[in-house]
Structure 1
Amino acid sequence: MPVIKVESGKITKEQKDTLIRELTKTASGILNIPPQSFVVYLTLCGKKSPTS
């Protein structure tokens, strides 16, 4: 089970979805491993606003 770990500042849900999808797609193509085999951990750093 390949693992992709990313640390990022605050990003939108759409950016998260695109980031995970594109990283998985690219790694899958390079490594010749099915995309469903990957696990992606996304750690968001920084302060959250009170309205988030």
Structure 2
Amino acid sequence: TKVNSLRKEAVQKLEFYRPINIGQASRISGVSPADISVLLIYMEQHKNN
């Protein structure tokens, strides 16, 4: 799934490490708090789909 507004570095790190939750994602070097916010917003908007 493509999440708009994520930085390229964050996308690469998330694809490589494949975290199973937001806590793990937030501890990945190269994934900023802003990237985590984008992920949380995306998840909230798509949780019923």
Task: Provide the TM-score with structure 1 as the length reference.
Answer: 0.37
The answer to which structure has the higher strand fraction is 1
The answer to which structure has the higher helix fraction is 2
Structure number with higher relative contact order (C-alpha < 8 Å, ≥ 6 residues apart): 1
Which of the pair has more CA radius of gyration? 1
